[in-house]
């Protein structure tokens, strides 16, 4: 069953209006903030700065700020909408703002410890860059879905590049779907959101499926971080299976994930390759970064892992595949 929420303007809800106004304000101020890994974020905060000096400190580094950074009316509006909250003698953002090219994308505050946290970080930038590099070589898709859309970065980029396509951002996290809808309105693109566990909540076939699933082993099994399986590859493999079953003839699956390397053997690739061969599809696989999230190797379940690589899988179904 397809549970869709249209994300076309105008935006009538309180948080949406507040975020649109905040996006206009920070954009006019020349706001730039490249969201970093949690480990880097923590190291920067440990330098001891206590209060925000500018908008990037407040909505990027998530430091508390005084009313004077904005103004009383704006702070009151953002607080009423749940975008900021009282913090001592000032305020603290409940959402951060990342810049993605010229776009402003709102996502969860630091630290992202809640079960329904909506993550945005270096993987998001690599994922979007890989999509933009690959998309021109693909047939023009009419129906597109981003599995586990999070804050909506990839779905928004695809909706902008493919204005005549049906673009769906799907996620099991309702908070992620709400942020995707807000971020799409701010970006001025049209897409739909669907509450879905992988592709279980949507119908039909797709010309293009993209995904950037969690790929860590997380002791708390937080949905935005935990990939499951032996070394975090479980969810990525589930997406490969679901995608192969739902691609239209000639359709493509673009998957960005992390692969645990054990004694120089790629655990994700070794599990995915038999599925791809059995499907009779064409595919290309590459490492985008040989070493990401090295601190994860200190966590349980990684005693035999040498490194975690960021990888990019492009799958194309035969044009003559059975529909």
Give 278-313 pLDDT, tens digit per residue.
999 999 999 999 999 999 999 999 999 999 999 999
Task: Choose among 231, 236, 196: nearest CA to 212.
Answer: 236
User: How far is Cα 7 from Cα 115, in angstroms, rounded to an integer?
Assistant: 25
> % helix / strand / coil in the chain, to the nearest 5?
35, 25, 40
What is the model's pLDDT at position 1? 35
Residue 75 CA to residue 262 CA, distance in Å, equals 50
Q: Domains in the chain and their CATH numbers?
A: 4-108 (no CATH), 122-316 (3.40.50.150)
Whose tokens are 């779905």? That residue is 155
Name the percent of the chain lying above pLDDT 90: 89
Look at residue 6 in the predicted model and tell me its pLDDT. 41
Contact assessment for residue 260 and residue 305, using Cβ atoms and an 8 Å cutoff: yes
Which one, of 120, 254, 110, lies nearest residue 183 by Cα? Answer: 120
Position 319 confidence tier, pLDDT thresholds 50, 70, 90 = confident
**Do 37 and 121 meet the contact criterion of CB atoms below 8 Å apart?**
yes
pLDDT of res. 29: 97
Q: Is the pLDDT of residue 17 over 60?
A: yes
pLDDT at 4 exceeding the cut of 60:
no
pLDDT tier at 321 (50, 70, 90 boundaries)? low
Query: What is the pLDDT confidence band of residue 11, given thresholds at 50, 70 and 90?
Result: very low
Evaluate if residue 201 carries a pLDDT over 50.
yes
Spatial separation of the C-alpha atoms in residues 156 and 133, rounded to whole Å: 16
Q: Tell me: the pLDDT tens digits for 203-261?
A: 999 999 999 999 999 887 777 788 899 999 999 999 999 999 999 999 999 999 999 99
Its pTM stands at: 0.93
């Amino acid at each position: 069953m397809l549970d869709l929420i249209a994300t076309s303007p105008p935006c009538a809800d309180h948080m949406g209006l507040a975020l649109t106004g905040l996006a206009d304000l920070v954009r006019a101020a020349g706001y730039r903030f490249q969201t970093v890994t949690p480990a880097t974020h923590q190291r920067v905060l440990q330098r001891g700065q206590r209060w925000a000096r500018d908008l990037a400190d407040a909505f990027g580094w998530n430091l508390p700020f005084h009313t004077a950074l904005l103004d009383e009316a704006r702070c009151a509006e953002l607080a009423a909408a749940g975008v900021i909250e009282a913090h001592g003698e000032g305020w603290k953002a409940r959402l951060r703002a990342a810049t993605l090219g010229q776009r402003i994308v709102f996502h969860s505050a630091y630290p992202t410890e809640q079960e329904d946290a909506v993550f945005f970080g270096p993987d998001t930038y690599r994922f979007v860059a890989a999509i933009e590099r690959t998309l021109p070589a693909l047939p023009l898709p009419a129906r597109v879905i981003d599995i586990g859309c999070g804050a909506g970065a990839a779905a928004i980029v695809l909706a902008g590049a493919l204005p005549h396509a049906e673009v769906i951002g799907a996620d099991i996290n309702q908070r992620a779907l709400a942020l995707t809808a807000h971020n799409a309105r701010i970006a001025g693109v049209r897409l739909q959101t669907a509450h879905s566990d992988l592709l279980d909540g949507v119908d039909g076939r797709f010309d293009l499926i993209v995904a950037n699933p969690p790929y860590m082993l997380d002791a708390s099994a937080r949905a935005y971080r935990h990939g499951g399986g032996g070394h975090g590859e479980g969810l990525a493999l589930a997406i490969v299976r679901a995608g192969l079953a739902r691609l239209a003839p000639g359709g493509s699956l673009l998957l960005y994930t992390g692969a645990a390397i054990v004694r120089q053997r790629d655990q994700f690739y070794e599990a995915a390759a038999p599925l791809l061969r059995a499907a009779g599809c064409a595919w290309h696989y590459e490492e985008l970064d040989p070493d990401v999230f090295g601190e994860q190797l200190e966590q349980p379940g990684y005693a035999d892992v040498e490194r975690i690589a960021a990888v990019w899988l492009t799958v194309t179904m035969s044009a003559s595949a059975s529909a």
